[in-house]
Chain A
Amino acid sequence: MLADDMACNARNEYPAQVFNNENHKLNLYGDNVEVDYRGYEVTVENFLRVLTGRHENAVPRSKRLLSDEGSHILLYMTGHGGDEFLKFQDAEELQSHDLADAVKQMKEKRRFKELMIMVDTCQAATLFNQLQSPGVLAIGSSLKGENSYSHHLDSDVGVSVVDRFTYYTLAFFERLNIYDNASLNSLFRSYDPKLLMSTAYYRTDLYQPHLAEVPVTNFFGSVMETIHTDSVYKAFSSKTSNNKINSEMPVNQLSEHDELQKANIPNDELKTEKQKCPYTQMRVDLHEKLEKFENVDTVVNLGIAVMVFVVMISSSLL
Chain B
Amino acid sequence: MACLVRSWIPLLFLQSFLVAIAFGSNEGEEFSEELLLKPLPDRKVLAHFHFENRAPPSNSHGRNHHLFPKAISQLVQKFRVKEMELSFTQGRWNHEHWGGFDPLSSMNAKPVGVELWAVFDVPQSQVDISWKNLTHALSGLFCASINFLESSTSYAAPTWGFGTNSDKLRYGSLPREAVCTENLTPWLKLLPCRDKDGISALMNRPSVYRGFYHSQRLHLSTVESGQEGLGSGIVLEQTLTVVIQPETTSVETNMQPSWSLSSLFGRKVVGSCVLAKSSNVYLQLEGRLGHESKNVDTEIEAHKLWMNSDFDLSLKPDRVIRESSSLLFIFDIDKSSDSEPFDLGLTWKLPSKWSCEQAPLHASRFLMGSGNERGAIAILLKATESQEKLSGRNLTTDGRCTIKANIFQIFPWYIKVYYHTLQIFVDQQQKTDSEVLKKINVSPSTDKVSSGMLEMMLELPCEVKSAAISIEYDKGFLHIDEYPPDANQGFDIPSALISFPSHHASLDFQEELSKSPLLSSFKEKSLVRSYTEVLLVPLTTPDFSMPYNVITITCTIFALYFGSLLNVLRRRIGEEERFLKSQAGKKRGGLKQLLSRLTAKIRGRPIEAPSSESPAAESSFLSSKLIFKIILVAGAAAAWQYFSTDK
Chain A residues in the interface with B (C-beta under 8 A): 5, 7-9, 14-17, 29-36, 38-41, 58-63, 89-92, 270, 273-274, 277, 279-280, 317-318
Q: Which residues of B contact A34 (CB under 8 A)?
A: 143, 182, 185-186
State the main secondary structure of chain A at its contact with B: loop
**Nearest-CB residue, chain B, relative to A5:** B178
Chain B residues in the interface with A (C-beta under 8 A): 90, 132-133, 136-137, 139-141, 143-145, 147-148, 150, 176-182, 185-186, 195, 205-206, 208-210, 484-486, 544, 601, 604, 643-644, 646-647
**Nearest-CB residue, chain B, relative to A62:** B140
A-B CB pair tally, cutoff 8 Å: 96
User: Are A30 and B485 in contact, with the CB atoms below 8 A?
Assistant: no
Most buried by A among B132, B147, B182, B601: B182
Known contacts A33-B181, A279-B643, A59 near B544 by CB under 8 Å: no
List 28 contacting pairs A-B, 8 Å CB cutoff, sorted by A: A5-B178, A7-B181, A8-B179, A8-B181, A15-B209, A15-B210, A31-B205, A32-B185, A33-B181, A34-B182, A34-B186, A35-B143, A38-B143, A39-B178, A40-B148, A41-B147, A58-B147, A59-B136, A59-B147, A60-B137, A62-B140, A91-B485, A270-B646, A273-B646, A274-B646, A279-B643, A280-B644, A318-B604
Q: Compute how far the CA of A14 lies from the CA of B181 in the bound complex, rounded to whole angstroms.
A: 13
User: Are B185 and A31 in contact, with the CB atoms below 8 A?
Assistant: yes
User: Are A16 and B208 in contact, with the CB atoms below 8 A?
Assistant: yes
Known contacts A38-B145, A90-B485, A16 near B180 by CB under 8 Å: yes
Q: Which residues of A contact B140 (CB under 8 A)?
A: 36, 59-63
User: Are A15 and B136 in contact, with the CB atoms below 8 A?
Assistant: no
The smallest beta-carbon distance between B542 and chain A, in angstroms, is 13
In-complex Cβ contact of A318 among B132, B137, B148, B601 (8 A): B601
Q: Compute how far the CA of A280 lies from the CA of B132 in the bound complex, rounded to whole angstroms.
A: 59
Q: Which residues of A contact B181 (CB under 8 A)?
A: 7-8, 16, 29-31, 33
Known contacts A274-B646, A279-B643, A35 near B137 by CB under 8 Å: no
The smallest beta-carbon distance between B424 and chain A, in angstroms, is 36
User: Are A280 and B643 in contact, with the CB atoms below 8 A?
Assistant: yes
**Complex A-B, nearest 10 residue pairs according to Cβ-Cβ distance, in ascending order:** A60-B140, A8-B180, A5-B178, A15-B209, A58-B136, A16-B205, A91-B485, A89-B485, A16-B209, A62-B140
User: Are B145 and A62 in contact, with the CB atoms below 8 A?
Assistant: no
The smallest beta-carbon distance between A281 and chain B, in angstroms, is 11
User: Are A36 and B143 in contact, with the CB atoms below 8 A?
Assistant: yes
The smallest beta-carbon distance between A156 and chain B, in angstroms, is 14
**Nearest-CB residue, chain A, relative to B180:** A8
Q: Compute how far the CA of A17 lies from the CA of B145 in the bound complex, rounded to whole angstroms.
A: 21
The smallest beta-carbon distance between A227 and chain B, in angstroms, is 32
Most buried by B among A5, A17, A40, A63: A40
Q: Which residues of A contact B136 (CB under 8 A)?
A: 58-60
Q: Which residues of B contact A58 (CB under 8 A)?
A: 132-133, 136-137, 147, 150
Q: Compute how far the CA of A198 lies from the CA of B140 in the bound complex, rounded to whole angstroms.
A: 39
User: Are A15 and B145 in contact, with the CB atoms below 8 A?
Assistant: no
New contact pairs (20) apart from A7-B209, A60-B136, CB-CB < 8 Å = A7-B180, A8-B178, A8-B209, A16-B180, A16-B181, A16-B205, A16-B206, A16-B208, A17-B205, A35-B182, A36-B143, A39-B178, A41-B145, A58-B137, A58-B147, A59-B136, A89-B485, A279-B643, A280-B644, A318-B601
The smallest beta-carbon distance between B8 and chain A, in angstroms, is 29
The smallest beta-carbon distance between B152 and chain A, in angstroms, is 15
Q: Which residues of B contact A33 (CB under 8 A)?
A: 181-182, 185
**Nearest-CB residue, chain B, relative to A270:** B646
**Nearest-CB residue, chain B, relative to A4:** B178
The smallest beta-carbon distance between A235 and chain B, in angstroms, is 34
Q: Compute how far the CA of A60 lies from the CA of B180 in the bound complex, rounded to whole angstroms.
A: 21
Q: Compute how far the CA of A34 lies from the CA of B184 in the bound complex, rounded to whole angstroms.
A: 9
**Nearest-CB residue, chain B, relative to A318:** B604
In-complex Cβ contact of B145 among A9, A29, A40, A274 (8 A): A40
The smallest beta-carbon distance between A41 and chain B, in angstroms, is 5
Q: Which residues of B contact A60 (CB under 8 A)?
A: 136-137, 139-141
Q: Compute how far the CA of A238 lies from the CA of B616 in the bound complex, rounded to whole angstroms.
A: 81
Q: Which residues of A contact B177 (CB under 8 A)?
A: 39
Q: Compute how far the CA of A62 lies from the CA of B146 in the bound complex, rounded to whole angstroms.
A: 14
Q: Compute how far the CA of A89 lies from the CA of B485 in the bound complex, rounded to whole angstroms.
A: 6
Q: Which residues of B contact A17 (CB under 8 A)?
A: 205-206
The smallest beta-carbon distance between A282 and chain B, in angstroms, is 10
Known contacts A58-B136, A58-B150, A40 near B143 by CB under 8 Å: no
User: Are A63 and B208 in contact, with the CB atoms below 8 A?
Assistant: no
User: Are B185 and A317 in contact, with the CB atoms below 8 A?
Assistant: no
User: Are B132 and A39 in contact, with the CB atoms below 8 A?
Assistant: no
Q: Which residues of A contact B182 (CB under 8 A)?
A: 33-35, 38
**Nearest-CB residue, chain B, relative to A91:** B485
In-complex Cβ contact of B139 among A30, A63, A273 (8 A): A63
The smallest beta-carbon distance between A122 and chain B, in angstroms, is 20
The smallest beta-carbon distance between A92 and chain B, in angstroms, is 8
The smallest beta-carbon distance between B30 and chain A, in angstroms, is 27
User: Are A14 and B206 in contact, with the CB atoms below 8 A?
Assistant: yes
